[in-house]
Amino acid sequence: MIELLTVIAIIAILAGIIFPVFGTVRENARRGACMSNMRQLYQGVRQFKLDNRSYPEYLFTPAVDVNGNLLRSGQTPVSMVEASTKSRVLGQSLYPEYIRSLDVFHCPNNSQGQS
């Protein structure tokens, strides 16, 4: 019985040491993903500048409505996917020619959620 209690105590001590480390590892992974996304944005802007001799007007797209018109304050914007089709019409954005994934515009540490 004492041996069993000793084993349980050792497992509890190890779990107490390991669980905080898991949180740190997950936070470092999210931070690394954000840094990678920022680097991809930088490379996209740099490539756009090399190709067009100017910086893009928008990183992703201007805020547009379903008709492709620029939004005024208080209007409801469209989703990122809908806006990406409008941004191709408006030009001057990085997606999809210079940045291939919409996920680059989202940081995993963003508490507001993905938009």
pLDDT single digits (tens) 77-112: 666 666 666 555 455 677 778 888 878 877 887 766
What is the distance of C-alpha 81 from the center of its chain? 15
Asked if 91 and 56 touch (Cβ cutoff 8 Å), the reply is: no
Please give the tally of structural domains in the chain: 1
| Structural domain boundaries enclosing 23 | 2-100
In a domain, 115, yes or no: no
Whole-angstrom distance, CA of residue 18 vs CA of residue 13: 9
- Residue 14: pLDDT band with limits 50, 70, 90: very high
HSE value, Cβ hemisphere, 13 Å, CA-based, for 12: 6
Q: Does 113 map to a domain? A: no
Determine the Cα–Cα distance for residues 92 and 51; give it in Å rounded to an integer: 12
Confirm whether 59 is domain-assigned: yes
pTM, rounded to two decimals: 0.62
